């Protein structure tokens, strides 16, 4: 078990006076002077706040903080910091994957306990709760759940069967509740899609929410302001402008992206959190433009998972009047198809170095991309996909960088076992790639130029968030 730094700890709740001495003591006899006692240093607690806007809209971060503060004071802990993960689903992300909390879990010596307001703020899965308890025992860290409506739950590093069983039971109940909510939402949205009604969520660009003609519920109608923007984008494509150039034009004009436009129509501020970072407003990119121009919603079709929803007779279910005529839409797709350059970013769950490989030119993540007619792919800088420009975009053959990283990891950690992406992220591995030079001889096909590669260990600055 990993030991903490020696500390003078007192678990007596604050404000409790020492009543062991009698109130009517006789005059004390003279005593030699005593050295002043060292001030009590209370054990350190990290508060953890989490909120998922999808399924827990009634849970307030403010109430969570109040519960955490009360709990730490009553137990005699000193609250040193807070890990805040908003718009983070406990169903989709374990505590070790959340942007803020994960960075703290990698530094267990900085606190003695973690405090949540409730078990479901920490985990909504039996597996995730089991992993968290195991981590606490390994690192001598107490896990505390305020549970304001119930009895407080404290899981110490020492094995406590009753507390652990209660934790697992509550995590199981939260997991079952999440599954039931997901099933109900899926069923509801299936019915709404089939009837052409709007069931909530991001409104397709070019439309706005409007009362359904039947008088029941909502549908979508063209939004004159964004319809004009769609038409201008289509005209720019026909005039020969690239999607990157069009995205820059929209940025320069201050046009809000679909997500920000939806927030405006809802009376909410633009921007938000994405990939662990906060933005005042989101950027236009070639990728976001491509999604708008490729979607069948431009034809007025209801879309689910990228495909047109059809009724029992096979006809498209409509969300509203089309923004483009069928001939216009097909002509647009033809132009976009001819511009394909043969290299396409592709999400690949097995890519080893997503979140590990970074471009030296812009410090941004590198992503896996396939190549037509080649058996291998590359890790490439995707600054343009983030709406920015990289002064020296890097690219490297994926299997070469995988082999290099695994080799260096095994060398540093003296292991010959299988190396997974989870291990690399857990240990803070970062591989930085600089841009290569064009040209060269046949030796370039033999393997990577390791002078372009830098292997480091430690925390990644963009994931460390001490709130």
Question: 416-448, pLDDT tens digit by residue?
Answer: 888 888 889 888 899 999 998 765 555 556 678
Rounded distance between C-alpha atoms, residue 145 and residue 122, angstroms: 9
Whether 90 and 160 map to the same domain: the answer is yes
Q: Is residue 290 part of a domain?
A: yes
Using 50, 70 and 90 to split pLDDT, how confident is the model at 372?
Answer: low
Strands 430-433 and 453-456: antiparallel
Residue 274 has pLDDT above 90, yes or no: no
The number of beta carbons lying within 10 Å of the beta carbon of residue 402 is: 18
Tally Cβ neighbours within 10 Å of residue 153. Answer: 19
Mind listing the pLDDT tens digit for each residue in 22-62?
334 444 444 555 555 545 678 999 999 988 764 444 446 88
Other beta carbons within 10 Å of 227: 16
Give me the domain span that covers residue 317: 207-338
pLDDT at residue 216 in the model = 62
Sequence-distant (6+) residues with CB within 8 A of 391 are 361, 362
Q: Confirm if 75 and 112 have CB atoms less than 8 A apart.
A: no
| The pLDDT of residue 164 | 80
- Are 161 and 263 contained in the same domain? no
β-sheet bridge partners, residue 370: 344, 377
Model pLDDT for residues 53-95, shown as the tens digit of each residue: 644 444 468 889 999 999 999 999 999 999 988 878 777 788 8
Output the pTM of the full model. 0.44
Token digits for 290?
């491509």
**How many CB atoms lie under 10 A from the CB of residue 48?**
26
Which residues are 86's β-sheet partners?
A: 51
In a domain, residue 186? The reply is: no
SS3 label, residue 230: helix
| Overall average pLDDT of the 90-117 stretch | 89
For residues 215 and 251, membership in a common domain is answered with: yes
CATH number assigned to the domain comprising residue 212: 3.90.1750.20
pLDDT of 114: 95
Write out the two tokens for 164: 């652990």
Report residue 19's pLDDT band, with 50, 70 and 90 as the boundaries: very low
Q: What is the mean predicted confidence (pLDDT) over 303-319?
A: 74
Distance (Å, rounded) from C-alpha 357 to C-alpha 405?
9
Dist. CA 270–CA 273, nearest whole Å: 11
Query: Where among 338, 359, 383 does a domain terminate?
Result: 338
Do 279 and 239 have their domain in common? yes
Q: Would 299 be classed as within a structural domain?
A: yes
| Cβ within 8 Å of residue 162, ≥6 positions away | none
Residues 282 and 308 in one domain: yes
* Residue 303 and residue 355 in one domain: no
- What percent of the chain has a predicted confidence (pLDDT) above 70? 74
Q: How far apart are CA 287 and CA 387, in angstroms?
A: 9
How far are the Cα atoms of 42, 138, 238, 364, 420 from residue 232, in angstroms, in the given order? 63, 59, 10, 31, 46
Is 199 part of a structural domain of the chain? no
* Mean per-residue pLDDT over the chain, rounded: 77
297 plus 269 within the same structural domain: yes
Q: Is residue 185 part of a domain?
A: no
What is the SS3 assignment for 124? coil
Find the Cα–Cα–Cα–Cα dihedral 174, 179, 184, 186, rounded to 10°: 140
Contact (Cβ atoms closer than 8 angstroms) between residue 153 and residue 115: no
454 φ, ψ to 5°? -130, 125
φ/ψ of residue 58, rounded to 5: -90, -5
Same structural domain for residues 348 and 227?
no
68 and 160 together in one domain = yes
**What's the pLDDT score for residue 33?**
53
Domain end residue (candidates: 158, 176, 194):
176
Distance, CA of 420 to CA of 427 (rounded, Å):
11
pLDDT tens digits for range 156-200: 887 677 778 877 887 777 777 766 655 554 444 444 445 555 555
Do 333 and 375 belong to one domain?
A: no
H or E segment to which residue 465 belongs? none
State in Å, rounded, how far the first CA of the chain is from the last one.
28
What's the number of domains the chain is made of? 3
Q: How far is it, in rounded angstroms, from Cα 379 to Cα 430?
A: 14
Q: Which residue has the higher pLDDT, 262 or 174?
A: 262
DSSP strand pairing (44-51 vs 113-116): parallel
* CATH number of the domain where residue 158 is located: 3.40.50.1390
Q: Poorest-confidence range of 78-92, 161-175, 348-362, 383-397?
A: 161-175
DSSP3 helix / strand / coil % (the chain, rounded to 5): 35, 15, 45
pLDDT band at 130 (very low <50, low <70, confident <90, very high): confident
Residue ending a domain, among 122, 155, 176, is 176
Same domain, 135 and 153: yes
* Residue 433, in any domain of the structure: yes
**105 shares a domain with 150:** yes
pLDDT at residue 442, rounded to an integer:
55
**What sections of 268-380 are H helices per DSSP?**
286-294, 326-338
Average pLDDT on 359-378 reads: 83
Q: Are 394 and 434 contacting, i.e. CB atoms less than 8 angstroms apart? A: yes
Of the chain, the percentage scoring pLDDT greater than 90 comes to: 25
């Amino acid at each position: 078990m990993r030991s903490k730094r020696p500390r003078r700890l007192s678990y007596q709740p604050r404000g409790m006076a020492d009543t062991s001495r009698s109130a009517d003591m006789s005059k004390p006899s003279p005593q030699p002077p005593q050295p002043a006692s060292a001030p009590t240093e209370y054990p350190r607690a990290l508060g953890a706040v989490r909120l998922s806007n999808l399924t827990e809209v009634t849970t307030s971060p403010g109430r969570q903080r109040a519960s955490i503060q009360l709990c730490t004071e009553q137990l005699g802990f000193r609250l040193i910091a807070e890990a805040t993960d908003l718009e983070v689903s406990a169903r989709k992300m374990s505590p070790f994957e959340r942007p803020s909390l994960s960075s703290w879990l990698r530094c267990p010596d900085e606190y003695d306990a973690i405090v949540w307001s409730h078990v479901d703020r920490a985990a909504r899965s039996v597996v995730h709760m089991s992993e968290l308890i195991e981590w606490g025992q390994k690192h001598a860290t107490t896990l505390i759940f305020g549970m304001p409506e119930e009895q407080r739950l404290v899981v110490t590093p020492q094995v406590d069967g009753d507390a652990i069983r209660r934790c697992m039971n509550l995590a199981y109940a939260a997991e079952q509740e999440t599954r039931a909510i997901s099933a109900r939402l899926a069923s509801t949205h299936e019915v709404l899609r089939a009837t052409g009604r709007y069931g909530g969520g991001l409104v397709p660009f070019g439309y706005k929410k409007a009362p359904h003609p039947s008088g029941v519920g909502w549908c979508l109608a063209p939004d004159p302001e964004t319809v004009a923007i769609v038409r201008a984008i289509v005209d720019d494509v026909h005039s020969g402008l690239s999607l990157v150039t069009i995205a820059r034009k929209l940025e320069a004009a201050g046009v809000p992206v679909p997500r920000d436009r939806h927030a405006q129509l809802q009376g909410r501020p633009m921007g938000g959190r994405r990939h662990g970072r906060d933005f005042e407003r989101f950027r236009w990119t070639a990728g976001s433009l491509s999604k708008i121009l490729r979607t069948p919603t431009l034809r007025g079709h209801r879309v689910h998972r990228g495909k047109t929803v059809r009724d029992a007779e096979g006809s498209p279910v409509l969300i509203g009047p089309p923004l483009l005529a069928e001939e216009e839409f097909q002509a647009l797709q033809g132009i976009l198809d001819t511009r394909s350059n043969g290299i396409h970013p592709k999400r690949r769950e097995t890519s080893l170095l997503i979140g590990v490989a970074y471009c030296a030119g812009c410090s941004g993540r590198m992503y896996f991309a396939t190549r037509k007619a080649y058996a291998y792919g590359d890790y490439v800088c995707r600054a343009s996909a983030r709406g920015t420009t990289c002064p020296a975009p890097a690219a490297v053959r994926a299997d070469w960088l995988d082999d290099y990283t695994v080799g260096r990891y095994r060398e540093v950690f003296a292991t010959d076992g299988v190396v997974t992406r989870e291990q690399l992220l857990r240990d803070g591995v970062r591989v930085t790639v600089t841009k290569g030079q064009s040209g060269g001889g046949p030796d370039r096909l033999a393997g990577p130029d390791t002078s372009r590669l830098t292997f480091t260990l430690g925390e990644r600055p963009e994931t460390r968030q001490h709130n």
